[in-house]
A = this chain, B = another copy of it.
């Protein structure tokens, strides 16, 4: 059979994203990745060095895909519910990335943040878009833009990491209801006037 190193690499990455997404770093099995990719284990080490490095590369690839598919333009920053829904739908349709990020957070902790300037830049650009929207008056100024982005992300993606909790909290609420509620809550975060509104 003719050699096809490019195809080998690709097959390993495709298999690895499935395996890491399903089982995390500790739970993933190098042998399973090789088997699913129909490739010899040694090719994995020859191409990617180690299980951990492979995890990094897989995660970086998924982030690159997300970054391309889910920009945050100034238009979108002015329409927070629509952006929240876009984030939600992306992760619903591409469930690997958000799971990888959760595995990374749980297994490696906050120290990760220091070593990935390009990822930090990705999120910074989103924060800046929200800051500009605040400057234009399209978003309320009461909450720091970074915190606002955090809140939107939290509501839009958390269910993917804790499906069992989500089920217990919302019962068998269907996805339509979740999307509707997400949009409504994002709209509330985006409202311009704040009302104290709570009786002492």
Contact = CB atoms under 8 A, between A and B. Distances in A.
Instruction: Please provide the 3 A-B residue pairs with the shortest distance between their CB atoms, ordered closest to farther.
Output: A147-B181, A26-B27, A110-B163
Interface stretch (A9-17, A35-43, A99-107): A99-107
Contact of A109 (B105, B116, B142, B163): B163
Interface in A22-37: 23-27
Given A23-B26, A107-B24, A169-B123, A102 B164 contact: no
Is chain A's binding surface mostly helix, strand, loop or mixed?
helix
Interface residues of A, number: 72
Contacts of A171: 146
Nearest to A28: B26
9 contacts: A27-B27, A101-B165, A103-B106, A111-B164, A122-B168, A123-B165, A146-B170, A153-B169, A158-B158
Contact of A154 (B102, B113, B154, B195): B154
A149 to B, nearest CB: 6
A192 interface: yes
A198 interface: yes
A182 B109 CA distance: 22
A94 interface: no
Given A110-B167, A143-B181, A161 B105 contact: yes
A87 interface: no
